[in-house]
Chain A
Amino acid sequence: MIRVKGDRFIFREKGTDLKSVPSRCRGKNKSVPFSCNYPDSVISEIRQLLEQVADPEIPVLTIADLGILQDVCRHEGRVRVVITPTYSGCPALQTIEQDIRTVLTENGYEDVEVATRISPPWTTDWLSEAGREKLLQYGIVPPAGSADKQSLRMPDTGVACPRCRSAATEEISRFGSTPCKALYRCNDCLEPFDYFKCI
């Protein structure tokens, strides 16, 4: 049990006897208090837990790698997790929200608000360096360059084959198996591959 400034800042450490937590500080499920402000250590623990949540479509990437996980903060006495959609209609967002709740529930944080924010709009520029490397190892070419430098009319340029590294590649289709990917082909080794397009 951690106490800061009397009873106002209270949270339960794992294994703490629940009876020692004032009832007004317990969540609906009676397992974890939520009407108190969480201390920084809890916020950072939640953040670390969520940084491990995988993207359902591209499981080598975490939601932190993708820039989907925007914020973990205190909001009106609760913990608020803020996520952002990659594409407007990306069906993975609902799965991600469920996965977030599952991870938090498993770790004893049951009353957490998950909010969606669309402004500023998601961009592939938010992909982490580690994420880009993982994508390439997985066989998906990470976004080439910066989103604001891409032209409206031209396919993305500078997309090298993930297998033979040849720069002689062409876009087969702007649309792939998920909204975020395009289909490319290498003109040297002739292999088709996925490209995580710049947006």
Chain B
Amino acid sequence: MSGETTRQELFQYVIRLGDNALINGQRLAEWCGRGPFVEEDIAMTNIALDLVGRARMLLTYAGEVEGAGRTEDDLAYFRNEREFRNFQIMELPVGDFAFTTARQFFVDAYDYFYYRALQHSVDSTLAGIAAKTLKECEYHLRHSAEWMLRLGDGTEQSHAKISTAVAELMPFTYELFDADGIDRAMQANQIGVDLNTVEALWNEKVNNVLDEATLERPELKYTRSGGRQGLHSEHIGYLLAEMQSLQRAMPGQDW
């Protein structure tokens, strides 16, 4: 670790990555048993499993960096809303299948380019996690991009639904690239990534897929941000209530 990077900064950086994966995985897992057909049900839960697996690696590492003895479970189950550092786009309710598809597409494209850059981190643990997770990001992105095409260039109804989803979600994508001091410090120390590069690649991919899917990219009339600082929508409380209820009721339960 570079001398300029404090332990607390690295902890914050890692926990953001872990929380993004955890909250996205938890939301996606809500489709388990409710998918539009069995193959897609399996696909979404498989992807959710990858995300939770990624969260486990990152939160374990965050606990090690913090050095206060907190485990992955302590961090996942015993923090409150304001202590979570995920982007708001992750916590939005699943909505319909079009909404879930559009969210996954935006997030998968971000994750793919982000972890592709992060695999070159000078922090060997983060680089290892990134290289591992990148393989999974590849087929996540392939999956959601295919669905964007199918829904956008599909029926009148599917086109209308995915258009609405894209319009609703686009303001939340602003936050993905809304770097703060920790992001800049991590980039300067070559632990983190250059978000401007990720943003350019993301824009190119998103524009290409939207174009091919005959979808318009809506202009941003407003933006949402704040997850990095623990500012969230009302939805995260409900998500955490469900995710944490067992451990809150019976702390330390194992099976």
Contacts and interface: CB of A to CB of B under 8 A. Distances in A.
A114 B176 CA distance: 37
A119 B124 CA distance: 9
Contact of B54 (A88, A120, A175, A199): A88
Given A88-B50, A89-B49, A119 B39 contact: no
A118 interface: yes
A176 B127 CA distance: 28
A87 B136 contact: yes
B132 interface: yes
Interface residues of B, number: 29
B133 interface: yes
B81 interface: no
Interface in B122-139: 124, 127-129, 131-133, 135-136, 138-139
B43 A121 contact: no
Given A87-B53, A89-B52, A183-B39, A175 B46 contact: yes
B139 A174 contact: yes
A127 to B, nearest CB: 15
Given A89-B49, A152-B142, A199-B135, A118 B42 contact: no
Report, as a range, how many residues of chain A touch the other chain.
20 to 34
Task: Provide the main secondary structure of the chain B interface.
Answer: helix
Best-buried of A89, A120, A199 by chain B (most CB within 10 Å): A89
A89 B136 CA distance: 10
Interface of A is mostly: loop
Nearest to A182: B139
B51 interface: yes
A123 B131 CA distance: 11
B101 to A, nearest CB: 15
Interface in A91-126: 91, 118-123
Interface in B117-173: 124, 127-129, 131-133, 135-136, 138-139, 141-143, 145
Given A90-B49, A152-B138, A152-B141, 12 more contacts: A88-B54, A89-B50, A89-B53, A89-B54, A91-B49, A118-B57, A121-B131, A123-B135, A173-B40, A173-B43, A174-B43, A177-B42
13 contacts: A87-B53, A87-B136, A88-B50, A88-B132, A90-B53, A119-B128, A120-B131, A122-B132, A174-B43, A175-B42, A175-B43, A177-B42, A179-B49
Interface of B: 39-40, 42-43, 46-47, 49-54, 56-57, 124, 127-129, 131-133, 135-136, 138-139, 141-143, 145
